[in-house]
Structure 1
Amino acid sequence: MEQSRAQTKWSQFLSLIVVFFFWGFVAASNDILIPVFKKWFVLSQVQSQLVAWAFYVAYFVGSVIFFIVSLKSDILQKFGYKKTLAVGLALSAFGAFLFVPAAAAASFWFFLTALFIVGLGFSVQQIVANPLAIKMGSPETGAHRLTLAGGINSLGTTIGPILLGIVLFGMGNKNDSKPKDTNLTKIELVKDEYEAHKKELLKNVAELREDRQDDPLKINEVIATVEQTVKVLDGQIASIDQNPSADDAQIDAYSKKIVKIKQKSSTISYPIGFVKDHLKEVKMPFIVLGIAFILVAIFMLFSKIEDPAKEEEAEIDEGSSKFSVFNYPQLYLGMLAIFIYVGVEVSIISNLPALLHTKEFGGVLEHNIAPFVSLYWGSLMIGRWNGSINVFNMSKTVNMLMKFIIPFVAFGIIILANELSGKDVSSFYIYAFWILAFIIMSFIGGKAAGKTLMIFGIAGIVMMVLGLVYPDKEIAKYFFISGGLFCSIMWPSIFDLAIAGLGKNTGKASSFLVMMILGGGIIPLIQGWICDFDKTSPDGIMGITWTHFSYVIPILCFIYLAFYGFVTPKILKKQGVVMGETTSSGH
């Protein structure tokens, strides 16, 4: 075993994982774009989820095209892994550069097209990079290498929203991003919500008065609409000042009123030039990304990455040139698992800004969302860094010690990055308890992919249920965010289980699995659709808002993932396929 571990081709592998970083950077940045586009393009929650839809449906389309072409010719064997990767990177670069005209046109559909093309390039990269990472060394450490690559992916997801947040909103204000003062009375908290919304609207009025590119009549019309809303807010604030000892019924009435005022504000259509001005900052990060994609593509072409030997993919001969997904239960069940896994991973965070924007979760505004997004995606980094420890050859004692140290090192990076961006994240320290729970569960899961997937699926169910029922919403939000921790091990575990026993058909199976990344575009739409019931039923359901209730969707997803982890090892055993210790205890 020790010898097999030493076979990892590190110089080649380190070149490859740069690509994994880009996937994470862009995917997490989408979660900052969603509330921004929702605000300036006047979108419903389900419409805002089209950002995720455009990005992830591209994976499906790209994989279908790849598979159809591969039926006539094995692309990876004909052109090689490096050239195929470079083509995928060039395609993503083209999509990134399209953000420039999209921002200039202030067109939501143009932005979706650009994201679709970026995702199309990523689909090609995913099909190549995942099996390549597994094959760059001993099969026994294949899943560990994929987990390490996932850890680099998660570093991108942690840094992406922070950097994009800085570009769009500037450096943070620690006083502005602090949690609500728990010493304030209920009526004072409601008043704070009114004043925060008034401050936001007055800022827009001030900027509108400086607008020289739009029709003055349109500008004055919008200013009048906004100022009318400000007058309503002033009237409510004055009423609160005259009623400092308001009872619960009166406080509830004030709370419902601010919800209605915010809903009305969200329908204000700002002048096109004004919107363009607020979207122009989106261009620069994607120009830089586009250039980086091209540079990495060139680097890949001249790197020493070797294509896996053809005989390695021919180890298992099915006796037929025809390949059918339905011949492999581990594969078609794994396709559904990937669909659901990516869906739940994206849906939890894509709808989190809407949840945190609700009154019960503190009314967090767009410019203060980035730390929560980075903590969620950083949670995947914590889990994947922990899982990747088994790639390295170290003693059992050191290995166990590192499994406690590395997650908290990753957590420290998340805290430091947010602090450097100017945000107050002192409230994040309590999250250490969730990290400790994750470490304990990773030891319980052991090294079997199926068992670990089942345990973390169950953990995901428990966390989502607690997020729905826990009375203190300052704590409840961390139960939802911890979904990132328990998703962190799932991709390599599902992928490893799904391609087990496929032999020469591994490439085709990989394209089918990558097709199922489509779930990242579908499941968030379903959850967003539930969120939008708050507009027609402001009283919510079962004592909570519909946005809060929408997190029943992740519960259903985690139930299936736990089932897949339970049933697949039994299926493989019947086929005579023994997985062995393919997934680290850190998963």
Structure 2
Amino acid sequence: MSETKTTNKPALYTLTTVWFFWSFVAASNGILIPLFKEKFGLEQWQAQLVDFAFYAAYFVGSILYLVFSRISGGDILNKIGYKNGIIYGLIISAVGSLLFYPAAEAKSYTLLLSALFIVGLGFSLQQTATQPFMIAVGPPETGAQRINLGGAVNNFGGTIGPIIVSFAIFGSIAPEAAAAATVESVKMPYLYLAALFIAVALFFWFSKLPRVTNTEKIEPGMGALKYPQLIWGMAGIFVYVGVEVSISSNLGEYLVQTQGLTSSQVGKYVALFWGSMMIGRWTASIGNFNPSEKLRKVLFVVVPLVAFAIVLASISFTNDVSEFYVYAFYVLVMIIAYFASKEKPVRLLLIFTALGAIMTIIGVLTTGKVALFSLISGGLFCSILWPSIFSLGTAGLGKYTNQGSAFMIMMILGGAIIPVIQGLVADFVGIQPSYLVAAACFIFLFIFGISVQKVLKNQGIDFDAEFEKNSSVGGH
């Protein structure tokens, strides 16, 4: 990638629009899982095949990207352009959404999973193009902040997605609504989603984005794999996506077993989890706006609390949110953690993964709302992990950046594997103890942070030191 010293903000804001759908659909899987489990009579691990189909598509999509690049004799995105890559991805996702209609008519779990797989296939191409594009429109050392901005929009989609899809499927949160719903209830929501994909594809077609490509020669083969930071990054993305998805997708069954709820009543809790992701990412995006040091400190308190209020307001349109007020405690813990990190990327990752592990263990060992909200707070402590891992894993790859990005996207496969593993554990030992799988993932990610920092320092790359140096100039 050619390096840019200032951020192209119009291009950045245009790119953030596509992030909305990724989390909207992913979070809505948390509504489909308990519905399909009930209507198709599935075991917990079988219900988790919803996520398996969706996230396995990222792996397959990345393989196809590498294969087509090899056949064409160079990086396929360099040939078609990042902008066109996003457009084609949106069209593929629209096709998958349209297929929900005949799949639901046929009442076929296999066909529904296939439709979701095609939606994910389109997302794979979109993300392979968008991630390095976001990094390329500004200085590389602040790439994580730009990805956080996209993540903030992404998780607003995740916050309202479960609420909208749940209401569209069930019509209300009454217990009897779950009994009245059928598999065919998913048809119309996904028809509307297909129309939105097409509309955004047209928006990108007419937008004036700069043509960004990797101007350096792309070596054939798998040369990126010689970089240990990429290997660590691939493992980190696998585990991070796995734990994020697993906490959310098993939450419906947790609520059914421990709180006595029905599938029509779980939407607001799934929304709170994804809203927690939004709260963390909005906080991490503050640096994009280059505020003064004094204003910056104020915003680190105000922004997450405002984001929390927006999450509650979004959920309150169809639900009572009074029980969520005490969740402000967990938001305050996150704010303190952010101040303690001094915004240094690696330090931030270490603090958040440690807190994620602690909160998940509390969720396993306690009961009631303490256990529930401690598990949901995993969203707060997952919130900054994607950009941190992605930036660390692709640092210093040079001409292998695009190839490395594809390998990283491929490891979203973790979202297909780890929820199924937790589902299997839940079928044997119960849903609450199964969350120890999530705690183990956070512990691994803590080890990742320590290890990749050592690898990069050996190559003369110190993200924390570089961030501190840049923060001492200008508006920081």
TM-score by length of 2: 0.94
Partner of 2:354: 458
Deviation at 1:48, TM superposition (A): 0.2
The amino acid of 1:401's aligned partner reads V
Distance 1:376 1:510 in 2: 27
Q: 2:372 aligns with which of 432, 456, 477?
A: 477
Distance 2:189 2:90 in 1: 16
Distance 1:112 1:462 in 2: 34
- Percent of aligned pairs with the same amino acid: 46
Deviation at 1:322, TM superposition (A): 5.1
Partner of 2:95: 94
- The CA deviation string for residues 507-535 of structure 1, in whole angstroms up to 9 with x for no partner, is 000000000000001000000001112xx
What pairs up with 1:179-258 in 2 under 5 angstroms?
none
Partner of 2:36: 37
What pairs up with 1:183-582 in 2 under 5 angstroms?
278-308=182-212, 310-311=214-215, 314=216, 323-358=222-257, 361-421=258-318, 423-470=319-366, 472-533=367-428, 546-579=430-463, 580-581=466-467
Q: Do the aligned partners of 1:380 and 1:488 also contact (CA within 8 Å) in 2? A: yes
Distance 1:333 1:141 in 2: 20
SS for the counterpart of 2:7 is coil
Report the number of matched residues.
463
Partner of 2:64: 65
The amino acid of 1:418's aligned partner reads I
- The CA deviation string for residues 383-439 of structure 1, in whole angstroms up to 9 with x for no partner, is 000000000021111111111111111111111112111x11211111000000001
Distance 2:185 2:16 in 1: 28
SS for the counterpart of 1:554 is helix
- The CA deviation string for residues 57-111 of structure 1, in whole angstroms up to 9 with x for no partner, is 0000000110122233211111111111111111000000001101111111110
Q: Do the aligned partners of 1:88 and 1:125 also contact (CA within 8 Å) in 2? A: yes
Q: Do the aligned partners of 1:386 and 1:403 also contact (CA within 8 Å) in 2? A: yes
Distance 2:117 2:361 in 1: 33
The amino acid of 1:397's aligned partner reads K
SS for the counterpart of 2:432 is helix
Q: Do the aligned partners of 2:360 and 2:375 also contact (CA within 8 Å) in 1? A: yes
SS for the counterpart of 2:111 is helix
SS for the counterpart of 1:383 is helix
The amino acid of 2:266's aligned partner reads I
- The CA deviation string for residues 278-300 of structure 1, in whole angstroms up to 9 with x for no partner, is 22331112111111111211221
The amino acid of 2:326's aligned partner reads I
SS for the counterpart of 2:42 is coil
The amino acid of 1:568's aligned partner reads V
SS for the counterpart of 1:581 is helix
Deviation at 1:482, TM superposition (A): 0.4
Deviating more after overlay: 68-77 vs 423-432: 68-77
Deviation at 1:450, TM superposition (A): 1.7
SS for the counterpart of 1:550 is helix
Distance 1:81 1:558 in 2: 33
Q: Do the aligned partners of 1:30 and 1:51 also contact (CA within 8 Å) in 2? A: yes
Distance 2:397 2:141 in 1: 16
Q: Do the aligned partners of 2:214 and 2:402 also contact (CA within 8 Å) in 1? A: no
Distance 1:505 1:325 in 2: 5
The amino acid of 1:31's aligned partner reads G
SS for the counterpart of 1:496 is helix
- The CA deviation string for residues 13-35 of structure 1, in whole angstroms up to 9 with x for no partner, is 22211110010100000000000
Whose radius of gyration is greater, 1 or 2?
1
SS for the counterpart of 2:182 is helix
Partner of 1:24: 23
**Unaligned segments of structure 2, at least 5 residues:** 472-476
Q: Do the aligned partners of 2:89 and 2:124 also contact (CA within 8 Å) in 1? A: yes
Q: Do the aligned partners of 1:450 and 1:564 also contact (CA within 8 Å) in 2? A: no
Distance 2:209 2:224 in 1: 30
Once superposed, what is the RMSD of the aligned Cα atoms? 1.9
Partner of 2:116: 115
Distance 1:559 1:325 in 2: 26
Distance 1:386 1:123 in 2: 26
The amino acid of 2:453's aligned partner reads P
The amino acid of 1:351's aligned partner reads N
Deviation at 1:309, TM superposition (A): 5.2
Q: Do the aligned partners of 1:60 and 1:517 also contact (CA within 8 Å) in 2? A: yes
Distance 1:127 1:12 in 2: 17
Distance 1:338 1:329 in 2: 14
Partner of 2:474: none
Q: Do the aligned partners of residues 310 and 45 (structure 1) sit closer, same or farther apart at CA in structure 2, a change above 3 Å counting?
A: closer
Distance 1:124 1:294 in 2: 15
The amino acid of 1:59's aligned partner reads Y
Distance 1:407 1:89 in 2: 31
SS for the counterpart of 1:304 is coil
Distance 1:379 1:107 in 2: 33
Q: Do the aligned partners of residues 531 and 322 (structure 1) sit closer, same or farther apart at CA in structure 2, a change above 3 Å counting?
A: closer
TM-score by length of 1: 0.76
Q: Do the aligned partners of 1:45 and 1:532 also contact (CA within 8 Å) in 2? A: yes
Q: Do the aligned partners of residues 524 and 322 (structure 1) sit closer, same or farther apart at CA in structure 2, a change above 3 Å counting?
A: closer
SS for the counterpart of 1:551 is helix
